[in-house]
Structure 1
């Protein structure tokens, strides 16, 4: 790259120039008519922050904790499948950049590199887990993540099967030979590489592995199966959030899977205040989907999150310039968070959680935080 990007959107443009069309569609696309994919971004665009003034911000700090461990900023790298689709160096390149940026990196069950190879690089690594048909295999992945040195488990709840994703279906998308689902079975690997007639090979191979026959007792079983912090990802309803807290989870990621599961699902940012209010301080709340700037991070904090997960921008950076590209993405995001903190009168992340927000055009103006966990009353239209 000749001129370094100055915002995350420029990485999207750079990645689009180097990625094959089918891989670009797999990374950027959503399900159905992509209403929810667009809604995630639109939700951030309609929320505005109310800055404070006459506060000493000469020593702004982005440092915080996530799941009880220090982080350089309230950001973690989201679980994203098959980083080697974007760049030959794959997950290790992303993990090294996250390590050096001081933020957690989440290894996906659908990783193209074994979890042991990632944790060997050091850093703060979480492991994302799907509900597999073979419960013994699920427990085996938990043991494997523990033995490898992962610091937390993140159970994805919103994928009983992969939703219909028209871009992948039209492209008859399949994994290229150099990309393998290293944590899954040989039969599943074969299916992932096989061209599907009129559909996505990835949808076929995940259907072989994922279980739709899980309920709250399953979550209780997994909670008891490991001493690692347990985070559940894919919750949007406050009642589900409250029940997850009752089970004893350590964290909730408010998420609609980046607009890749139910098309028409509520945007994560719109769901966030209700989820945060429903659980109070019983567990940590994070958000993913649509985060593209430091100001977006502060909006999430003000509405009840302790941090955000970032997926697509990281993969755009990886595609555009490998490990250096991911470093630049995370450096830019850190600089933007610090800038947003100072310009809203916040000396640290805790102060950002007390910011007021407003949705112009709706009844009411500035919204007051609720018990320091973000604004809820009179929230945005959903």
Structure 2
């Protein structure tokens, strides 16, 4: 007998903001709190979104193109939409987690970034057919890192994303949500009041007969057991931070194993972007880790143009942080990005409606991009330039 969802309603939503609100109503408070995250004041997290509103348009009234081309080529892959899936850890907002996200990415033809802190294995994710870029932190010894690169390549990963910026979402002014070490029966009973307040979320997991998985299978040693999320985080925190020579070593190891693109995520400074080019990367992501690293770091969109102007002719420059609308994507492309990565936006879609919710988010962004291009009388994202924007004095921030 097939169980029907007793809370089912029209699952479609018209904006990322609506997806976020549905996620807020559906998820237990600690789970939703972990998604909004942000460190200390949440200053950088908020700035990432607010900065887009400081950029204006000067739309044409005549001369629009009947058809607009939203496609681009980034990291050697032609994609129909300049929006990539940013790697995010343990996606316990939905039972299918990263597999659902990967299926959505495959359905929309874009690149899936998979965190090494993910709750689903790289083998499960690549089996969806999604073009998968495996993400790694600098964690563990060098032999362990090579083992993990080899596993990702053997599974079919077509690129590697190195995330090296320090993330410490602690000391939040509004308090940090409780995240248990393991989700077992005892934990579920202890958290029962919060879970009971969100029955739809509990019902989803109840159908699968399992609890949310807070382990990191991609960090399991060969033939060994996957560490918990906190075990993986401890390994990361206790690994000596990398040098630029280590970055070059990591890039070289991946090149020997796979020969596919190596991308450095978390770049905030022009001089770091230049060092990344010297280390041989194929691309960089201008990012402040969604506001989860050093609070007070400028909004990613403010740092984008100075970095793209300096190295955009040598490597592919993408950006992540604060993207909630298709018009945000167009603004980033006009300032030099080849594409953007989204994180919270697709997680809210996943929480709201699983794979279909992630596809819904991608479709919302696609529609917004197309609408902005039409208003600007631009026929292709490749034609976007800073001149299409009204940029206030002092908007761009050059660091380094």
TM-score range, shorter chain: 0.7 to 0.9
Match among 330, 334, 337 for residue 362 of structure 2: 330
- Larger RCO: Structure 1 or Structure 2 (Cα < 8 Å, ≥ 6 residues apart)? 2
Corresponding pairs, count: 354
**Contact 2:43/2:295 (<8 A) preserved:** yes
Q: Distance in 1 between matches of 2:220 and 2:85?
A: 26
**Contact 1:254/1:272 (<8 A) preserved:** yes
Question: In the alignment, what sits opposite 1:274?
Answer: 306
Question: In the alignment, what sits opposite 1:62?
Answer: 70
Match among 10, 14, 22 for residue 18 of structure 2: 10
Question: In the alignment, what sits opposite 2:217?
Answer: 182
Structure 2 unaligned segments of length 5 or more: list them: 1-8, 185-211
* Structural mapping, 1:8-87, within 5 Å: 8-52=16-60, 54-83=62-91, 85-87=92-94
Match among 100, 104, 108 for residue 101 of structure 1: 108
**Contact 2:64/2:376 (<8 A) preserved:** no
**Contact 1:44/1:296 (<8 A) preserved:** yes
Question: In the alignment, what sits opposite 2:244?
Answer: 216
Question: In the alignment, what sits opposite 1:117?
Answer: 124
- Mean Cα deviation higher: 163-172 or 308-317: 163-172
Deviation of 1:53 after TM superposition, in Å, equals: 5.6
- State the TM-score, normalized to the length of structure 2: 0.83
Q: Distance in 2 between matches of 1:344 and 1:80?
A: 33
Q: Distance in 2 between matches of 1:122 and 1:92?
A: 10
Q: Distance in 2 between matches of 1:49 and 1:300?
A: 13
Say whether 1:206 aligns with 2:233.
yes
**Contact 2:219/2:227 (<8 A) preserved:** no
Match among 248, 259, 265 for residue 297 of structure 2: 265
Question: In the alignment, what sits opposite 1:342?
Answer: 374
Deviation of 1:191 after TM superposition, in Å, equals: 5.5
Deviation of 1:165 after TM superposition, in Å, equals: 4.9
CA separation of 1:353/1:116 partners in 2, compared to 1, >3 Å: closer, same or farther? farther
Q: Distance in 2 between matches of 1:337 and 1:287?
A: 16
Deviation of 1:205 after TM superposition, in Å, equals: 4.5
Task: Please list the CA deviations of residues 251-300 of structure 1 after superposition, one character each: whole Å capped at 9, or x if unmatched.
Answer: 00000000011111111011101111121310000000000001100100
Task: Please list the CA deviations of residues 126-173 of structure 1 after superposition, one character each: whole Å capped at 9, or x if unmatched.
Answer: 1111101322111111111111111110000102x6342538964332
Q: Secondary structure at the match of 1:328?
A: helix
**Contact 1:30/1:37 (<8 A) preserved:** yes
Q: Secondary structure at the match of 1:162?
A: coil
Match among 166, 172, 179 for residue 173 of structure 1: 179
Q: Secondary structure at the match of 2:377?
A: coil
Q: Distance in 2 between matches of 1:110 and 1:284?
A: 25
Structure 1 unaligned segments of length 5 or more: list them: 193-201, 363-377
* Structural mapping, 1:235-254, within 5 Å: 235-254=267-286
- State the TM-score, normalized to the length of structure 1: 0.87
Q: Distance in 1 between matches of 2:354 and 2:286?
A: 29
**Contact 1:188/1:209 (<8 A) preserved:** no
Deviation of 1:247 after TM superposition, in Å, equals: 1.6
**Contact 1:34/1:259 (<8 A) preserved:** yes
**Contact 2:304/2:337 (<8 A) preserved:** yes
Q: Secondary structure at the match of 1:51?
A: coil
**Contact 1:15/1:319 (<8 A) preserved:** yes
* Structural mapping, 1:303-382, within 5 Å: 303-353=335-385, 355-360=387-392, 362=393, 379-380=395-396
Q: Distance in 2 between matches of 1:189 and 1:262?
A: 29
